[in-house]
C-alpha cells in the first residue's frame, strides 16, 4: 500500500466546528481511497447513488472505480493530494464543501500535477457523512 501525503490549507474560513471538520475529512478520505486504489474505502465514503460530474460527463461509483482504479494498473502509481478548503456549510443532514484540489500523480514513470475547483454535496447517513454529488472543474 502506498503512503499518502496530505496537505490542507484553510485560508477563507474561520475556525471549524467538529461537524465541519468531519465533513472535510470525508472528502479527504475519498481522495485517500483514490490514491490507494482502494475501492472498498471509496464506496464507504459515498452514497450508493453517487453522482460525479467530471469532464462534462456524469459518472456513478462504478464509473469512478473503473476509470480511477481498474483501468489504472501502473505499478509505480502514486497520487498526493493537497486541499485548499474555501467553504464548508452544514444544514441539518446536508453539507456543501467548496475547495481547490491539487494532485501530483506519478504513473508509468511520468509525473503530472493537476488542479481542480470542486463542489461536493454530502448527506448524513447513519450518523456518518457520505458524498452524494461531486462537481469537478479542471483548472488549466
Closest CA to 49 of 38, 40, 37, 58: 58
Cell of 84: 485548499
* Residue 118, φ and ψ in degrees, nearest 5: -130, 150
Q: What digits encode the pLDDT tens for the residues 51-60?
A: 999 888 999 9
Average pLDDT, the chain: 91
Whole-prediction pTM: 0.88
Residue 140 banded pLDDT, cuts 50, 70, 90: confident
Beta bridge partners of 118: 99, 136
Q: What digits encode the pLDDT tens for the residues 5-53?
A: 555 554 544 799 999 999 999 999 999 999 999 999 999 999 999 999 9
CB-CB contact of 9 with 85 (8 Å)? yes
Q: What is the pLDDT of residue 113?
A: 97
Cα 99 from chain centroid (whole Å): 10
Amino acid at each position: 500500500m502506498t503512503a499518502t501525503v496530505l496537505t490542507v490549507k484553510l485560508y477563507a474560513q474561520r475556525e471549524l466546528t467538529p461537524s465541519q471538520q468531519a465533513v472535510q475529512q470525508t472528502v479527504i478520505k475519498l481522495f485517500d481511497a483514490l490514491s490507494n486504489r482502494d475501492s472498498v474505502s471509496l464506496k464507504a465514503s459515498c452514497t450508493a447513488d453517487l453522482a460525479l460530474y467530471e469532464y462534462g460527463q456524469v459518472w456513478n461509483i462504478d464509473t469512478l472505480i473503473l476509470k480511477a482504479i481498474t483501468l489504472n494498473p501502473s505499478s509505480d502509481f502514486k497520487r498526493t493530494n493537497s486541499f485548499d478548503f474555501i467553504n464548508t456549510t452544514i444544514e441539518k443532514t446536508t453539507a456543501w464543501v467548496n475547495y481547490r484540489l491539487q494532485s501530483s500523480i506519478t504513473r508509468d514513470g511520468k509525473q503530472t500535477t493537476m488542479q481542480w475547483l470542486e463542489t461536493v454535496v454530502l448527506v448524513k447517513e447513519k450518523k456518518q457523512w457520505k458524498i452524494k454529488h461531486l462537481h469537478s472543474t479542471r483548472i488549466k
